[in-house]
């Protein structure tokens, strides 16, 4: 593998930590939940939410079972059990969450979706997307934290390798083209799009987004949340936005042929378009769009860059211990509890050059496109991750968990 010189501290600068408190403070919050019993459910639910913020959780799972109400937080991509409350509290906790989210507390037979804004003392507000679903012992509630108002999203904080970042910045400097970010749910695609928008945001550009939902509010950018119940879907919004003199369009996700056609044609006719697609690799995206009905010639002339990404947990710098061949392994301490603290991205960045455009026109399949991409210099997810393993940022075990592949040879 080509040698890459990376300073670990440069990578660590890109990691984002917010609302971090030590384990003892968080434990006190959780103990308060157990001590309250039935007395003050309002306070208990607020404690639950502030605890999740303090632990940098992305999701809260509130799950009723016969013997109790289990609460789990998703932290750094993995669910962690936090506390089990008495089963008698379940109806009141769920009702409180539904009231906060403007949901119908009398409707227990059907799923519901809502939103709630929490305003912690002396901190910025936090928005939650709330989803309920009937289960055998009541209603399960999942809350997804939506970071709001974060205008500090530098591209170099994503975790890209220097040569990958250069490719992205080069494409963003162009007036037109399609940039796709691909990966499974929870792989950080949305944050990458927002970071690109922050970089592009300037008074001389008209930037608009169509999203489901709007997850981060960006001043100076026209953001539209779709509402299928009223007929406001991706395609409808995109047609309207294209009549409003846009320079840059961001589409939260390409889900169907109609949206794909509008996005690709917009890129072909002089707009810079950013979007996401659910595929496992950068090369697969080229085939997926053709399967959605996009003509090969149109795709080859419109697509500029494809980014495939995953998120890996980052070793705690306070307790990581040396392993073999200059790598490190997780240990765990009072600061991190499990040996990891935060996450960073690993990336494939596929730059569409003439060789790849010819391959699209020939109708090459995913395997051929993948091989050709690597011949053209694209680093795979595995090789990008291996560089982070050898820099002491993450572990080989974590890379295998995320990619299903062993770390590549040096």
Same domain membership, residue 336 and residue 207: yes
Same domain membership, residue 171 and residue 31: no
The helix/strand/coil state of 275 is: strand
- Cα separation of 234 and 211, whole Å? 8
Q: Is residue 208 assigned to a domain? A: yes
What separation in angstroms does the CA of 208 have from each of 194, 225, 278? Answer: 12, 11, 22
Query: What's the pLDDT score for residue 229?
Result: 84
The helix/strand/coil state of 331 is: coil
Same domain membership, residue 177 and residue 305: yes
Q: How many domains does the chain have?
A: 2
Query: What is the CATH classification number for the domain harbouring 361?
Result: 3.40.50.300
Same domain membership, residue 349 and residue 260: yes
Same domain membership, residue 166 and residue 101: no
Residue 176 has a CB neighbour count (10 Å cut-off) of 16
Query: What's the pLDDT score for residue 1?
Result: 38
Same domain membership, residue 182 and residue 316: yes
Q: What does each of the 410 residues of the chain score in pLDDT, given as a tens digit?
A: 333 433 333 333 333 333 444 455 555 656 665 665 545 788 889 889 999 998 889 999 999 999 999 999 999 999 999 999 999 999 999 999 999 999 999 999 999 999 999 988 777 888 899 999 999 999 999 999 986 555 567 999 999 999 999 999 999 999 999 999 999 998 999 999 999 999 999 999 999 999 998 888 899 999 999 998 899 999 999 999 999 999 999 999 999 999 999 999 999 999 999 999 999 999 999 999 999 999 999 999 999 999 999 999 999 999 999 998 789 999 999 888 889 999 999 999 999 999 999 999 999 999 999 999 999 999 999 999 999 999 999 999 999 999 998 877 65
Query: What is the CATH classification number for the domain harbouring 129?
Result: 3.30.450.90
Q: Which of 146, 178, 213 is the last residue of a domain?
A: 146
Query: What's the pLDDT score for residue 397?
Result: 95
Residue 28 CB contacts under 8 Å (≥ 6 apart), including other chains: none
Q: Give the rounded distance of the alpha carbon of 175 from its chain centre.
A: 26
Q: Which of 111, 146, 181 is the last residue of a domain?
A: 146
- Cα separation of 307 and 218, whole Å? 22
Q: Is residue 159 assigned to a domain? A: yes
Q: Which of 119, 146, 173 is the last residue of a domain?
A: 146
Q: Is residue 134 assigned to a domain? A: yes
Q: Is residue 5 assigned to a domain? A: no
Same domain membership, residue 207 and residue 100: no
Using the structure block, give the residue that is written with the tokens 């085939």.
287
Same domain membership, residue 186 and residue 88: no
Query: What's the pLDDT score for residue 217?
Result: 86
Same domain membership, residue 162 and residue 135: no
Q: Give the rounded distance of the alpha carbon of 386 from its chain centre.
A: 21
In the structure encoding, which two tokens stand for residue 329, read together? Answer: 């392994």
Same domain membership, residue 175 and residue 141: no
- Cα separation of 250 and 193, whole Å? 8
Length of the chain in terms of residues written: 410
- Domain containing 339 equals 155-403
């Amino acid at each position: 593998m080509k040698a890459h010189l990376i300073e670990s501290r440069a990578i660590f600068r890109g990691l984002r930590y917010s609302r971090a408190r030590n384990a003892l403070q968080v434990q006190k919050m959780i103990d308060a939940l157990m001590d309250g019993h039935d007395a003050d459910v309002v306070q208990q639910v607020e404690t639950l939410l502030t605890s999740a913020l303090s632990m940098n959780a992305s999701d809260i799972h509130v799950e009723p079972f016969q013997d109790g109400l289990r609460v789990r937080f998703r932290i750094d991509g993995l669910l962690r059990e936090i506390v089990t409350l008495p089963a008698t509290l379940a109806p009141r906790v769920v009702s409180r969450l539904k009231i906060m989210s403007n949901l119908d507390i009398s409707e227990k037979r059907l799923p519901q979706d809502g939103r709630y804004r929490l305003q912690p003392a002396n901190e910025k507000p936090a928005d939650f997307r709330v989803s309920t679903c009937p289960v055998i012992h009541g209603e399960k509630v999942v809350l997804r934290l939506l970071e709001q108002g974060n205008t500090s999203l530098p591209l170099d904080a994503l975790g890209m390798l220097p040569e990958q970042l250069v490719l992205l910045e080069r494409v963003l400097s162009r007036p037109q083209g399609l940039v796709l970010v691909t990966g499974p749910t929870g792989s950080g695609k949305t944050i990458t799009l927002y970071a690109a928008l922050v970089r592009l945001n300037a008074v001389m550009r008209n930037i608009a987004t169509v999203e489901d939902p709007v997850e981060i509010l960006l001043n100076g950018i026209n953001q539209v949340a779709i509402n299928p119940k009223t007929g406001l879907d991706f395609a409808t919004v995109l047609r309207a936005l294209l009549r409003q003199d846009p320079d840059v369009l961001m589409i939260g996700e390409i889900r169907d042929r109609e949206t794909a056609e509008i996005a690709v044609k917009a890129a072909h006719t002089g707009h810079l378009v950013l979007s996401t697609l659910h595929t496992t690799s950068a090369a697969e995206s080229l085939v997926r769009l053709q399967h959605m009905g996009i003509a090969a010639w149109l795709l080859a002339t419109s697509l500029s860059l494809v980014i495939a990404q995953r998120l890996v947990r980052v070793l705690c710098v306070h307790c990581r211990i040396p392993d073999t061949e200059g790598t490190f392994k997780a240990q765990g301490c009072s600061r991190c509890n499990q040996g990891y603290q935060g996450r960073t991205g690993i990336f494939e960045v596929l730059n569409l050059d003439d060789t790849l455009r010819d391959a699209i026109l020939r109708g090459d399949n995913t395997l051929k496109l993948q091989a050709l991409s690597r011949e053209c210099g694209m680093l795979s997810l595995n090789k990008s991750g291996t560089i982070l393993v050898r820099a002491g940022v993450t572990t080989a075990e974590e890379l295998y968990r995320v990619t299903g592949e062993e770390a590549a040879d040096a």
